[in-house]
Structure 1
Amino acid sequence: MQRTFASIVTGGLLALAVPAQAWGPTGHRVTATIAEHEISGRTRAEIAGIIGGESLAEASTFPDEERSNPDEFWQRTASPWHYVTLPDGTRAIDIEHPAEGDALTALEQFTAVLRDENASPEDRQLALRFVVHLVSDLHMPLHAGQPGDRGGNDVRVDWFGQQTNLHWVWDEGMILRQQLSFSEYAERLEGRLTPGKVLAWWTPTPATWIDESVALREELYPAYGPELGMGTLEAPVRLGYDYNWQWAPTVEHRLLQSGVRLAAYLDWVFAES
């Protein structure tokens, strides 16, 4: 099924080098849990008709879990569908999409399949899981990456004594420091959700999410670079309490926003079906 779908979407085009997954499983499940509480009754019924009793939290991590699948679809075709690449100062409407596609083109293609009632049940299930996943991906600032460092994967850091990279710090590092399950974290963040925030954030427009991520991305890099002798395997940037204090609130803000936007997007998808 994946091979058939891949040929429809990409015509067998090849993938680029793969960055780390966005948010990690906890972050994706937080986003999906918040969305599941905000979607309309109609959307809930449409989703149940596609994936049955599977929760959105379960669906949200499927595209990352399958990246260990040796099938060519997961190893080559789908690899570049988790991120977009924009130089500093570029807006989403100006993205030059690569031939193999990216997160935005994949979201558009999977949305079309999700709306197609003549598509096979298997393809609609795959499409729903990717849509849930990709909306969250696009809210992680380093998945709207700048050219040249693979979304911060090439920026080496020392995170509380752990040798890793800047991308992982945003994927999982700051989230894991909370030591909360995804359901506990979702409940905490939902306690901050007000009607005004829902109304302000209720936009099913991916370009908006991407532009927000780029604006954040341009601020979150620590001082590093060859001229400073930092950010390499031999001399990682030391990040700890100060960086976590500065940016953990932004991580939580983006998780909460992505939950609301996922609900908005799914309501839009099925309202327009």
Structure 2
Amino acid sequence: MITRLAPFVLIVLACAPAAAQEKPGEYILLLDKDDHPLAGSYRIGPDVKMVMKSRNGGLPGNPVYLDRAFFPAREAEMLAFYNTRHAYSPDPDTADVGETVEIVDRETLLPPLFKDQNPERKQALKLTVSGRQVFEAGGQKLVGKAYRVEGVEPGGDDLRFGDYVYIETLDIVLSAEAAPAIAAVERGTATGSGDFQALYVERVGVIPDFVKCIADTRRTPDYKARAEKQRASVDAFLAKNFGAGQTFWADTALYEINHAMNIYALCPN
């Protein structure tokens, strides 16, 4: 089932409680006026979800696994062989509107990528929360806050640097540039994390032949069987073990099951 809430209307600057967490198998999409996704998430388990973000004029970025969107404590990306735990001091959630806070991120790689690599690294970040926003979509209030992440020392570089909006109600972060384009919220279900990625790329719709291949493939019995197998194995493993620091790509059998759902392999041309 798909539920669409539209349009977004900025109403007041205020606070509101976050919504209840979506159930495993449910997704959320933030859509623009043309129904293309700007960002989205798929709930795998209580402590893990897959997050997708769109890029201007191209295919979306690689899926990332997180425990939460705003300064995640657990973060992993299969295609980068990246699996880490973050510990922040002080807690970024304590930063108030108009406040700039220096935060130290103590990151632990799980495990190190190389034999002699130091698994621990420390990064100082400067967090500024510039304001709060409350949107109304179909009668639902969606609370967000605008913030900036910078380096403490000049000349530093980190993929986290930039301006963002955190939609607290949905636990989704998107760029400050993309946030004004939000026109609707869509909620629905997918067969598994790989099916959510396929659905997301299909909805981005930047390469018509590729989109048609994905749409046709998703309707086949073989695809549905692969998606169900992935959810019962890969997603089930993540739901149980992600919080403890484990990912599926260290297991050859799980990696192959996940690869069988790779949309770029299913639609290579």
Fold match by TM threshold 0.5: no
Structure with the bigger RCO (C-alpha within 8 Å, sep 6+) is: 1
The structure that is helix-richer by fraction is: 1
The structure that is strand-richer by fraction is: 2
